[in-house]
């Protein structure tokens, strides 16, 4: 257990050497590593020399809580009207909620068209060609319809027809309403975001309409944990460093820093640890320098030899979403 690198990712039974940080903050990172290692050694010495009978650990100090967030891109349907995310009045082929079904009535479902639609169709005489093309593209009996059902979310293939809309990037912070050309079919949420405990129990979930952005995540967390007393000590998410940057930029970090740390899950941290100084210093899920003792514990192998181990399963939400992905096809 000699590895004191605070950027180390601790495995279940090994302590791998982690490469040094590269880039403009490399020297600062090296200084941090030395300083924090010395501080950890000092804490260890003080603990060894302390009188165990004099230690007073309160219940608050003994408890440490963590939640894990992750999103899965599988889009349940909602009302197609711009800015509306209400449930559909008719989930078997409908496009609007009850309010907009009444508002549109018998009108053509092409955007900005005020003509009445032809009976048993959703378009007027002038737009019948577009309606027929939509029906063909979305028919289960057509080859294109079968391929559409089998494709993954946001996947684009050569055999697909040209899209009339612009797809917003996964992490984009601008919730821009992208106009639709028609309202023949329902709109879809972009992803389902879930909060779980490290044991895998679901705590809360929400549907994000356009992007899994740091701003959307922070706003949701504020609703779930409105008071300091309700907030966990650690929030683990694959983009914790981005969420932390956004929180600092918009001022919400002034509220969160009193109670909570944002950390990256162990899998994604491998890609961040040698390139991102902020992530390496503040979002490490298992530092070995003693700066976050609640994230690391000592376990023993079958031979009685001690080894370091992560105290929490930071992949719990990812594992849940992997299971949920098996039900994606029924949401198409």
Q: What would the pLDDT profile of 84-111 be if each residue is shown by its tens digit? A: 999 999 988 899 999 999 999 999 999 9
Q: Report how many domains make up the chain.
A: 2
Residue 294 lies in a domain: yes
Least confident stretch, 65-79, 168-182, 195-209: 168-182
Residue (of 298, 218, 297) closest to 260 by Cα position: 218
Residue 271 lies in a domain: yes
Q: According to the model, what pLDDT value does residue 267 have?
A: 78
Residue (of 297, 221, 325) closest to 12 by Cα position: 297
> Do 256 and 270 belong together in one domain?
yes
Q: Is the confidence at residue 189, as pLDDT, over 70?
A: yes
Q: What is the pLDDT confidence band of residue 163, given thresholds at 50, 70 and 90?
A: very low
Q: Give the C-alpha separation, 304 to 299, whole Å.
A: 9
| Structural domain boundaries enclosing 163 | 99-187
The string over 251-266, giving b where at least 16 C-beta atoms fall within 10 Å of a residue's C-beta and e elsewhere, is ebbeebeeebbbbbbb
Using DSSP, how many helices (H) and how many strands (E) does the chain show? 11, 9
> Do 204 and 281 belong together in one domain?
yes
Higher pLDDT, 322 or 44: 322
- Mean pLDDT for 102-121 is 93
Pairing mode, if any, of strands 191-196 and 66-72? antiparallel
Q: Give the C-alpha separation, 213 to 169, whole Å.
A: 9
> Do 114 and 135 belong together in one domain?
yes
> Do 114 and 164 belong together in one domain?
yes
> Do 250 and 293 belong together in one domain?
yes
- Mean pLDDT for 111-139 is 91
Q: Judge whether 280 and 273 are in contact, CB under 8 Å.
A: yes
- Mean pLDDT for 120-129 is 94
pLDDT tens track for 252-311: 999 999 999 999 987 777 776 667 778 878 888 887 766 788 888 888 888 888 877 788
Residue 265 lies in a domain: yes
- Mean pLDDT for 161-172 is 49
Q: According to the model, what pLDDT value does residue 19 have?
A: 60
Q: How far is CA 58 from CA 43, 55, 87, in A?
A: 19, 10, 48
- Mean pLDDT for 36-65 is 58
Q: According to the model, what pLDDT value does residue 60 have?
A: 44
Q: Give the C-alpha separation, 28 to 64, whole Å.
A: 30
Q: Give the C-alpha separation, 290 to 234, whole Å.
A: 16
- Pick the last residue of a domain from 136, 152, 187: 187
Q: Judge whether 235 and 66 are in contact, CB under 8 Å.
A: yes
Q: Say what the pTM is.
A: 0.72
> Do 178 and 202 belong together in one domain?
no
């Amino acid at each position: 257990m000699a590895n004191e690198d605070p950027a180390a990712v601790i495995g279940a039974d090994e302590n791998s050497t982690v490469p040094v940080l590269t880039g403009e903050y490399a020297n600062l990172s090296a200084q941090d590593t030395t300083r924090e290692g010395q501080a950890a050694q000092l804490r260890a010495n003080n603990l060894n020399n302390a009188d165990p009978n004099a230690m007073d650990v309160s219940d608050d100090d003994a408890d440490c809580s963590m939640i894990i967030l992750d999103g899965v891109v599988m889009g349940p349907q909602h009302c197609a009207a711009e800015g509306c995310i209400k449930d559909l009045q008719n989930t078997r082929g409908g496009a609007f909620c009850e309010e907009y079904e009444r508002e549109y009535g018998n009108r053509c479902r092409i955007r900005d068209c005020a003509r009445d639609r032809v009976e048993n169709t959703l378009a007027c005489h002038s737009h019948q060609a577009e309606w027929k093309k939509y029906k063909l593209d979305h028919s289960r009996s057509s080859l294109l319809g079968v391929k559409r059902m089998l494709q993954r979310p946001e996947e684009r293939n050569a055999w697909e027809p040209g899209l009339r809309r612009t797809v917003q990037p996964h992490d984009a912070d601008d919730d821009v309403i992208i106009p639709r050309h028609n309202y023949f079919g329902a709109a879809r949420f972009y992803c389902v975001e879930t909060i779980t405990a490290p044991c895998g129990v679901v705590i809360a979930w929400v549907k994000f309409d356009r992007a899994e952005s740091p701003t959307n995540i922070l706003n949701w967390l504020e609703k779930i944990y409105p008071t300091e007393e309700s907030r966990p000590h650690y929030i683990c998410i694959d983009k914790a460093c981005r969420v932390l940057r956004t929180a600092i930029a918009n001022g919400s970090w002034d509220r969160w820093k009193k109670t909570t740390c944002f950390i990256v899950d162990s899998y994604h941290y491998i890609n961040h640890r040698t390139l991102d100084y902020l992530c390496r210093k503040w979002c490490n899920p298992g530092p070995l320098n003693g700066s976050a003792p609640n994230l690391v514990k000592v376990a023993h192998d079958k031979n009685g030899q001690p080894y370091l181990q992560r105290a929490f399963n930071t992949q719990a939400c990812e594992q849940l979403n992997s299971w949920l992905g098996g039900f994606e096809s029924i949401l198409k």
